[in-house]
Amino acid sequence: MDKEYKFHREIKNSYWKIKCYRNRVFFSSTLYQRSYYENLIIHEVDKIIALLEKIEEQSALNLLKRNPEDENQREFTLEELSEYDGSRGKPGYIAVDGVVYDVSTSPSWGGGTHFGLYGGKDLTEQFQGCHPGAEGILESLLKVGVIKK
Amino acid sequence: MKDGRIYCPLLNSKNTTSQALINSTNRLLRQSEQEKIDLIWLEATGCSGNIISLLNALNPDIIYLLTEMVNLKYNNSLMAAEGEKAFEIFLDTINREFILVVEGAVSTKANGLYTIIAKYKGKHITAMEAIKMAGEKAKHVLAVGSCASYGGPSAARPNPSGSISVNEFLEREVINIPGCPGHPDWIIGTIAHLISHGRPPLDDNNRPIMFYGITIHDNCPRRSYFDKGIFATKLGEKECMFKLGCRGPVTKTDCPIRQWNGYVNWPIGDNTPCIGCAQEKFPDGMEPFIRY
């Protein structure tokens, strides 16, 4: 908010200056005078362009920072989940601790398989057996829903 | 930039790492008048693919290894002696300083009777015994190939021979050079480092970082397809083969750069996915090799 106010104030400053220089251009008697004020106007216009670009950048960043809505509460039955096993170009989903993850482009899940395990299944046991206490691995996976209770 | 290609000195130097090490070794040898160290190459429970791969070496080649780098004292494929006389050379060499290279896993079932490497004075000498004898006394031990490094195909389910890796069998540090087979450059390059600069820097799987530091995925020419999510749907297509089961992302070797068979080809370059032959869990953990 602070930044926005600062931008607003600076643009307003440039606006008044341009207005003032424009008048001086109108009333200038020599070519030299005219081009002098025109240059000052161009300078202010450049300033405004830079400020507007900064504002654009800020708003783009703000969009990214906003947390994605929790629309990933899609519910899966185990049968539905088995469809998504990564074969024939289908996405690969796995379930661990009731949460369904999309592992289609996860580097260790080439061809929808992972060290002998196939996608489309509940792999809670295998996960606990092979990665005990490593919940950080799950954090980096894309959540797509939950297992229907 | 030339023809739109970027010249990266780091990548280009990978092609000549082994040669550079050899050259500096030669310089050291001439300076210090060091004696060439002895080398024993034991073929245990495997397919002998690694000694064949070694014979394919180009930079430097096998002749260079044998004449300038080490004294290969014992190897059943290449040595001239036969029978008991050959095994006597083995027994003699282990009493001096030597490097032990083991290819193939160590079969432990039936007291190692699944792999017999010699018959000496009426007794069968198992590979397990020989590795133990030599492994205890060797200056360095190299486990060449995925079988020696991790068990590999010899230890694949259901592992009827009770094969284990050399690391698991010996109670000492073993340098792993996995690959099915190991690339000749990786083998000779590591030997070169050993004889000139000692133990190379190893990762936590005991593999030399100079060859096994980066995944195939991070060096793959098809990586931009992966990053953009453009995947091949069947073999023969030019896009990323990740969805077909490529194991590049979990395999750490320099195949895309060094390439094979005299540096001319490698799986992805020949339109087939990587099967992760140098990965710890090869082959059971790298299945299926193709997923449709």
ipTM more than 0.85? Answer: no
Asked if B245 and A107 come within 8 Å (Cβ–Cβ), the reply is no
Beta strands in chain A (DSSP E): 75-76, 93-96, 99-102, 113-114, 117-118, 142-147
DSSP B269: G
Euclidean distance between CA atoms B186 and B179, whole angstroms: 9
Nearest to B243 among A108, A111, A116 (CB): A111
Yes or no: say if B187 and B61 are a contact pair by the CB < 8 Å rule.
no
* Side-chain half-sphere exposure of A91, counting CA atoms within 13 A: 12
Please give the pLDDT value at position A67: 54
| A65: confidence class by pLDDT, cuts 50, 70, 90 | low
Residue B140 β-bridge partners: B99
Strand-pairing partners, residue B5, are B2
Instruction: Please give chain B's pLDDT, 292 residues, in tens.
Output: 556 677 777 777 777 778 888 888 788 777 665 678 999 999 999 999 999 999 999 989 999 999 989 999 999 999 999 999 999 999 999 999 999 999 999 999 999 999 999 999 999 999 999 999 999 999 999 999 999 999 999 999 999 999 999 999 998 999 999 999 999 999 999 999 999 889 999 999 999 999 999 999 999 999 999 999 999 999 999 999 999 999 999 999 999 999 999 999 999 999 999 999 999 999 999 999 999 8
Residue with tokens 């210090």: B32
Measured between beta carbons, which residues in chain A are less than 8 angstroms from residue B247?
110
Distance from CA of A82 to the nearest CA of B (A): 16
Residue labelled with tokens 């362009």: A49
For B195-216, the pLDDT digits (tens) are 988 999 999 999 999 999 999 9
Cα–Cα distance list, B188 to A58, B33, B111 (Å): 55, 21, 32
Collect all residues of chain A within an 8 Å Cβ-Cβ radius of residue B233: 89
Question: Distance between CA atoms of B237 and B240, rounded to whole angstroms?
Answer: 8
Which of B249, B281, B292 has the CB atom closest to A110's CB atom?
Answer: B249
Smallest CA-to-CA distance from B52 within B71, B77, B72, B69 is with B77
Q: Which residue has the higher pLDDT, A54 or B253?
A: B253
| Minimum CA–CA partner of A119 in chain B | B291
Pairing of strands A113-114, A117-118: antiparallel
Neighbours of B272 (CB within 10 A): 16
Cα A91 versus chain centre, distance? 23
Distance from CA of A60 to the nearest CA of B (A): 22
Q: Whole-model pTM?
A: 0.76
Q: What is the pLDDT of residue B53?
A: 96
Quick one: which of B100, B215, B88 has its CA closest to B148? B100
Write down the pLDDT at residue B32: 63
Task: Name the 3-class secondary structure at A99.
Answer: strand
Q: pLDDT per residue over A23-41, tens digit each?
A: 999 999 999 999 999 999 9
Closest A-chain CA to B274: A110
Tell me if B141 sits within 8 A of B172, measured CB to CB. yes
Chain A residue closest in CA terms to B216: A107
Q: What is the DSSP letter of A148?
A: -
Nearest C-alpha of chain B: how many angstroms from A70? 24
Residues of B in contact with A86 (CB under 8 A): 243, 291
Strand-pair partners of B260: B265
Residue of A nearest to B242 (CA): A110
Please report the pLDDT score of residue A68 as a whole number.
54
